[in-house]
C-alpha cells in the first residue's frame, strides 16, 4: 500500500488551495522544510511569510493579517502549540479570527527528536478553546479534505499532522464534524483518530482471528465532535475502546468518555500515552514501547472485553 | 482640528476615565490618563477614514491598544468621537456591557483588535500592517504599547518582524510613564536605554519630551515617514496626568477612585 506522511499531504493541499484562493497566505517559523510548506513557498513566494523562530509572533501576525481579509495558515511543530498558546487563545480564538493552524510532527511517531518535541497534549489544549475547530486527519487523502474544509470555515481551525509516512486509503466521503465508520462490528467498538487508524485496523484483524467482531470508527474532527455516531456505536457494541497517539488525558479518549457516559456503556478503556512524556527512538520502536501497535491494542482489547 | 479643541476633547476623555473607573470601582486610571492625549490626537486629527457611521471601512487607519488595560482611555475617546453613547459607561466592566475590562472587538464598536494579554497587540498590529501591504491597502496602523509591557519578549519579536518586512505603514507609540503595577520600571525590571533598543531593532525613532503636550504629540505623529522603516514614537508621559493626586503615583495603576476622590478629580478636570 502506498504510504505518505500526512504532513506531506498538508503541504500539497496548501499548494492546491493557493491556486484556487488568492486570499490564502502561509506563515512559517523557520520550519518550512519540515512542515512541508516549502512547496507553497516555491509556488507562491509572494504569499509566503517566514516569521523566524518566533512562533508566538507568527500567530499574532496571522491574526492581524486575517483582519485584512486574508486567510493565513500558520505552520510549525505541534509541540509549539504550547509556546504560542496565549496567542492562539487571546489573539485568534477570543476574537474568532480566521486563522488556520497546520501543526505537524505530532505524537510519539515524530521519533528521534525525543520527548521535548513529541506533542502529546496539543489536542487537549486546542479542543478546550471556544470557537476552535480541531481536525486530526488519518491519512493523506483526509488531510487534503481537512485543508480544503478549513479554508471554508469562518474561524480558527487546528489541523494535527504526523511526520511518519502512513498508509493512504481510498478517499472517503468527508463532512466536517462527522465521524467515519471504517469497519462495522458488534462485539466492541474501537474509536480512533489520526494515523493510529493503521494500527487499529491491524488490531481489528487480529481480533477477528480470535472471533471478536470489532467495529472501527475514525474521527477526523475532534471538535465539533460527532456525538451522535459515538452514541450509536456505544449503544450497538457496549464495550468501548479509544486509541490515540496523544495523552489519555484531554484527547479523543476524554472526548468520547464525556459524550457516552451514562449512555449504556458496558466497559470503557482509553489506550494512548499514559500521562508520561515520550523519548527518542525509531517510530516503530516507540509505538511498541508505548503499547500502540496492532497486536498490543488487540491484546488490551481481549483482556478488557 | 485646532489644538484647543483637541485639548478640550482630551479633557472630556479624562473626565470619562474618572467617571467610568469610579462607577465600576475598578480599572486602570493611571495609565489611561497618561495616553489620553495621543489617543485624542489619533482619533480626532491623524487617523484617516475613521468614521463611526462606517466603522468597518476597509480603508480606515487601524488602531490597536496593545496596553489593553488602558481601555478607559480608548472607550472615552471612542465615545467622544461618536462610536457609542456615554450611557455605555454605566456598564464598564459589568455583566452584558460592551465595555469589557479589556477591549473586545466582538463587543465594542470601533475596536480593531481584542487586547489585554500584554505583548500581543503590537504583534497583531504588525500583522495588520503586513496584511495591508500584501493587499495593497493604503491604510496606516497605529499601536500604543506600555513600558511595563515592553518587558514581554513578544514586543521584541514583533519589532524584529516589523523591521524585517519594512513596515513603514506602522507606528508604534510607547506610553513611557515609567511605572507599572509593582513599582517603577527600574524597580521591577529596568528597560535600560529603551530608545537605543528601539533604534537597534530597526525603528525610525522620534522621542517626544512631553508626551502629554498636544502640539508635541501632533508634531511626532505628522513627521514624514521614513521609507522602509517602521516608526517608533517614544512619548515621555506622566502617569495619572491631569489629576493632581494621581500624577506620578504608582498606586494609581490599577485602582479606581472612590466617590470623594472622583469628585475632586472631576473638579480639577472641569472645562
Q: Is A87 on the interface with B (CB under 8 A)?
A: yes
3-state secondary structure of A289: helix
Q: Which of A25, A64, A86 sits opposite B126 (nearest CB)?
A: A64
What's the CATH number where A262 sits?
3.40.50.920
Query: Are A260 and A133 in the same domain?
Result: no
Show residues of chain B in contact with A66, CB under 8 Å. 127, 131
Residue ending a domain, among A167, A198, A220, is A167
Query: Are A85 and A213 in the same domain?
Result: no
How large is the angle between the packed helices A252-260 and A227-237, nearest 10 degrees?
70
Distances (CA, A) of B62 to A17, A203, A247, B43: 29, 56, 42, 10
The complex scores an ipTM of: 0.96
Q: Report the distance separating Cα B216 and Cα B235, nearest Å.
A: 9
pLDDT in tens, A219-260: 999 999 999 999 999 999 999 999 999 999 999 999 999 999
Q: Which of B106, B112, B158 sits opposite A57 (nearest CB)?
A: B158
Query: Are A138 and A7 in the same domain?
Result: yes
Show residues of chain A in contact with B113, CB under 8 Å. 63-64, 67, 95
pLDDT in tens, A196-225: 999 999 999 999 999 999 999 999 999 999
Q: Report the distance separating Cα B58 and Cα B55, nearest Å.
A: 9
Sequence-distant (≥ 6) Cβ neighbours of residue B213 within 8 angstroms: B37
Residue count of chain B: 271
A293 in a structural domain: yes
Residue in the structure block whose three cell numbers are 463587543: B107
Q: Is A259 on the interface with B (CB under 8 A)?
A: no
> In this structure, are residues B31 and B177 in contact, taking their beta carbons and an 8 Å threshold?
yes
Residue ending a domain, among A137, A167, A197, is A167
DSSP A90: I
User: Would you call A55 a catalytic residue per the annotation?
Assistant: yes
φ and ψ at residue B173, rounded to 5 degrees: -115, 120
With a cut of 50, which residues of chain B have pLDDT below it? none
Beta carbons of A90 and B137 less than 8 Å apart = no
Domain residue limits at A227: 180-304
> Residue B86: what pLDDT?
96
> Residue A282: what pLDDT?
98
Beta carbons of A54 and B126 less than 8 Å apart = no
Report the Cα A85 to chain-centroid distance in Å: 17
Query: Are A242 and A292 in the same domain?
Result: yes
A173 in a structural domain: no
Residue in the structure block whose three cell numbers are 480564538: A93
Query: Are A267 and A197 in the same domain?
Result: yes
Residue in the structure block whose three cell numbers are 508566538: A56
- The chain A residue lying nearest B161, using CA atoms, is A51
Beta carbons of A91 and B124 less than 8 Å apart = yes
Query: Are A69 and A30 in the same domain?
Result: yes
pLDDT in tens, B184-204: 999 999 999 999 999 999 999
What's the CATH number where A148 sits?
3.40.50.970
A172 in a structural domain: no
A231 in a structural domain: yes
Quick check: pTM over 0.95? yes
A102 in a structural domain: yes
Query: Are A163 and A240 in the same domain?
Result: no
Instruction: Give the cell for residue A65.
Output: 493579517
Residue ending a domain, among A167, A202, A223, is A167
E strands within chain A?
3-5, 24-28, 48-50, 71-77, 100-104, 133-135, 157-160, 165-167, 180-183, 188-192, 214-218, 221-223, 239-247, 267-273
Query: Are A102 and A158 in the same domain?
Result: yes
E strands within B85-169?
141-146
Nearest to A75 by CA among A142, A3, A141, A163: A163
Q: CB neighbours (10 Å) of residue A178?
A: 15
A203 in a structural domain: yes
Instruction: Give the cell for residue A15.
Output: 499548494
3-state secondary structure of A281: coil
Going from N- to C-terminal start, the domains of chain B cover 3-268
> Residue B271: what pLDDT?
82
CATH architecture group of domain B3-268: 3-Layer(aba) Sandwich (3.40)
Query: Are A126 and A203 in the same domain?
Result: no
Residue count of chain A: 305
Query: Are A158 and A208 in the same domain?
Result: no
Query: Are A130 and A35 in the same domain?
Result: yes
Mean pLDDT by 10 residues, chain A (305 residues): 97 98 98 97 98 98 98 98 98 98 97 97 98 98 98 98 98 98 98 98 98 98 98 98 98 98 95 98 98 98 95
> Å from A44 to nearest chain B CA?
13
Query: Are A156 and A187 in the same domain?
Result: no
Total domains present in chain A: 2
Amino acid at each position: 500500500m502506498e504510504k505518505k506522511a500526512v504532513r506531506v499531504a498538508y503541504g500539497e493541499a496548501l499548494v492546491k488551495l493557493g491556486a484556487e484562493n488568492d486570499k490564502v497566505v502561509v506563515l512559517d517559523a523557520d520550519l518550512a522544510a519540515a512542515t512541508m510548506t516549502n512547496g507553497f513557498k516555491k509556488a507562491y513566494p509572494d504569499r509566503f511569510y517566514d516569521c523566524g523562530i518566533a512562533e508566538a509572533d507568527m500567530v499574532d501576525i496571522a491574526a492581524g493579517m486575517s483582519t485584512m481579509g486574508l486567510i493565513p495558515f500558520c505552520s510549525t511543530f505541534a509541540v509549539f502549540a504550547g509556546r504560542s498558546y496565549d496567542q492562539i487563545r487571546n489573539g485568534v480564538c477570543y476574537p474568532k479570527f480566521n486563522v488556520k493552524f497546520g501543526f505537524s510532527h505530532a505524537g510519539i511517531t515524530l521519533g528521534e527528536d525525543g520527548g521535548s518535541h513529541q506533542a502529546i497534549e496539543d489536542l487537549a489544549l486546542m479542543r478546550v478553546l471556544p470557537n476552535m475547530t480541531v481536525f486530526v486527519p488519518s491519512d493523506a487523502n483526509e488531510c487534503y479534505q481537512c485543508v480544503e474544509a478549513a479554508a471554508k470555515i469562518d474561524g480558527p481551525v487546528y489541523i494535527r499532522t504526523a511526520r511518519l509516512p502512513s498508509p493512504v486509503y481510498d478517499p472517503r466521503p468527508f463532512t466536517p464534524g462527522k465521524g467515519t465508520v471504517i469497519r462495522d462490528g458488534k462485539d466492541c467498538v474501537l474509536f480512533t483518530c489520526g494515523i493510529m487508524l493503521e494500527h487499529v485496523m491491524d488490531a481489528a484483524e487480529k481480533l477477528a482471528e480470535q472471533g471478536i467482531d470489532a467495529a472501527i470508527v475514525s474521527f477526523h474532527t475532534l471538535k465539533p465532535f460527532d456525538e451522535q455516531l459515538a452514541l450509536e456505536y456505544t449503544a450497538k457494541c457496549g464495550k468501548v475502546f479509544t486509541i490515540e497517539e496523544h495523552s489519555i488525558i484531554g484527547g479523543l479518549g476524554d472526548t468520547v468518555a464525556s459524550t457516552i457516559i451514562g449512555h449504556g456503556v458496558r466497559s470503557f478503556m482509553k489506550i494512548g500515552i499514559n500521562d508520561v512524556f515520550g523519548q527518542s527512538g525509531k517510530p516503530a520502536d516507540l509505538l511498541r514501547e508505548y503499547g500502540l501497535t496492532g497486536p498490543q491494542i488487540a491484546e488490551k482489547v481481549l483482556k478488557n472485553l | 482640528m485646532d489644538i484647543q479643541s483637541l485639548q478640550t476633547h482630551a479633557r472630556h476623555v479624562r473626565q470619562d476615565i474618572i467617571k467610568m473607573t469610579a462607577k465600576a470601582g475598578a480599572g486602570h486610571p493611571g495609565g489611561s490618563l497618561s495616553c489620553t492625549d495621543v489617543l485624542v490626537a489619533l482619533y480626532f486629527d491623524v487617523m484617516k477614514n475613521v468614521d463611526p457611521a462606517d466603522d468597518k471601512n476597509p480603508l480606515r487607519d487601524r488602531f490597536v491598544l496593545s496596553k489593553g488595560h488602558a481601555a478607559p482611555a480608548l472607550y472615552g475617546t471612542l465615545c467622544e468621537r461618536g462610536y457609542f453613547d456615554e450611557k455605555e459607561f454605566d456598564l464598564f466592566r459589568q455583566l452584558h456591557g460592551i465595555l469589557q475590562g479589556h477591549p473586545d472587538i466582538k463587543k465594542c464598536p470601533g475596536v480593531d483588535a481584542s487586547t489585554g494579554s500584554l505583548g500581543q497587540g503590537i504583534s497583531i498590529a504588525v500583522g495588520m500592517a503586513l496584511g495591508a501591504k500584501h493587499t495593497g491597502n493604503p491604510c496606516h496602523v497605529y499601536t500604543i504599547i506600555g513600558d511595563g509591557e515592553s518587558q514581554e519578549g513578544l514586543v521584541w519579536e514583533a519589532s524584529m518582524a516589523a523591521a524585517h518586512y519594512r513596515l513603514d505603514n506602522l507606528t508604534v507609540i510607547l506610553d513611557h510613564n515609567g511605572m507599572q503595577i509593582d513599582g517603577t520600571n527600574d524597580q521591577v525590571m529596568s528597560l535600560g536605554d529603551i530608545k537605543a533598543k528601539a533604534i537597534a531593532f530597526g525603528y525610525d525613532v522620534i522621542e517626544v519630551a512631553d508626551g502629554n503636550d498636544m502640539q508635541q504629540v501632533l508634531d511626532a505623529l505628522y513627521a514624514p515617514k521614513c521609507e522602509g522603516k517602521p516608526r517608533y514614537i517614544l512619548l515621555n508621559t506622566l502617569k495619572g496626568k491631569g489629576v493632581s493626586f494621581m500624577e506620578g503615583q504608582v498606586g494609581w495603576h490599577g485602582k479606581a477612585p472612590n466617590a470623594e476622590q472622583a469628585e475632586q478629580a472631576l473638579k480639577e478636570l472641569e472645562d
